[in-house]
Amino acid sequence: MKLRPLSKEGESQFANALEKSSPLPPDLKLLATLRYDTNLKHLTRRVPIAMEDSDEDTFFLSKIHHKKLKYNARLLGWDINVSHTQMVNKMLEAVQTASTQGEHSALKIRLTVDRFGAMDATASPVLERDNLFSGLSTQSQELKDSTDPVFEVYVDKERFKPAVVNMIKTTDRSMYNTLRERNGVFVNSSKEVLLIGTDNDILEGSITNVAFLRGKEWVTPKLDNGGMVGAVRSFLLELGYIKEGVIKADTLVDGEYVLLFNGVQGVCAGKICLK
């Protein structure tokens, strides 16, 4: 499946911002996080074509994550070889290391690549899921029957103008960590918080891309205002589950369903909490 990148205009804006920005931290690395799951075939039963982009039948959409790492390296002007074979081997090594600390059917894989092309991967236990595409069932009995959580989704009160370091996924997560702490959203909680741009456009969640039901279509924010390219986002766009558009924060309704998606959780349902 293709990666959905920034538009040409968005890439030009990124290049201009990169040129004008302060030098990036020398220890900054590209970051990708995805799910390893021995039950992946069952978890993707709603959209089985996902297995075609998942290495070893266990690494969720890893082939798209590889494309994203290569793309982000190009955006930063890093002349490095992001090897797919090396990436798979690093992930397998991380899983093997994690297995020495206990048996886990589901793991979060954290991949990093530095400016010289050095790659590393770690694996840590992650909460089990019943269906990695359960969020697509928000209007059906299937959601009610699922054991997957429905997330509480909050809206940050501050307005955000992304720096270059926040426009692609890197190891600098300080801004997102501060955002989550400010809104009481903690690791492994069924909560998420939305980032809002200075023009009142919704950008993304603190750890997820998002989509909103407008009419009969799920609409995900365009990336050019500051959201990150996402592997699951690209996958859903390519299959026509979502489309790109502009979503203003003042159009949100308390209690409305949203979709939250990333490489570890898949597609989850959420409900807007304004009160």
**Predicted local distance difference test score (pLDDT) of residue 144:** 56
Q: Is the CATH code 3.30.470.10 the one for domain 8-125?
A: yes
Cα separation, 166 vs 168, whole angstroms: 6
**Predicted local distance difference test score (pLDDT) of residue 169:** 94
Torsion of CA 266, 272, 273, 275, to 10 degrees: 170
Among 181, 167, 200, which residue's Cα sits nearest to residue 10?
167
H helices of the chain, in order, are 8-20, 40-43, 62-76, 84-99, 141-145, 174-182, 231-239
Q: What is the pLDDT along the chain (275 residues), one digit of tens a residue?
A: 999 999 998 899 889 889 988 888 999 999 999 999 999 999 999 999 999 999 999 999 999 999 999 999 999 999 999 999 999 999 999 999 999 988 899 999 999 999 999 999 999 999 999 999 999 975 545 555 667 889 999 999 999 887 776 789 999 998 899 999 999 998 888 999 999 999 999 999 999 999 999 999 999 999 987 889 999 999 999 999 999 999 999 999 999 999 999 999 999 999 999 97
Cβ(122)–Cβ(110) under 8 Å? yes
**Predicted local distance difference test score (pLDDT) of residue 140:** 47
Q: Is pTM, for the whole model, over 0.85?
A: yes
Cα separation, 155 vs 273, whole angstroms: 8
**Predicted local distance difference test score (pLDDT) of residue 210:** 97
Say which residues have a Cβ less than 8 Å from residue 76's Cβ, sequence separation at least 6: 18, 24, 30, 115, 168
**Predicted local distance difference test score (pLDDT) of residue 141:** 53
Q: Domain ranges in the chain?
A: 8-125, 134-272
Superfamily of domain 134-272: D-amino Acid Aminotransferase, subunit A, domain 2 (3.20.10.10)
| Structure-block tokens of residue 208 | 């997820």
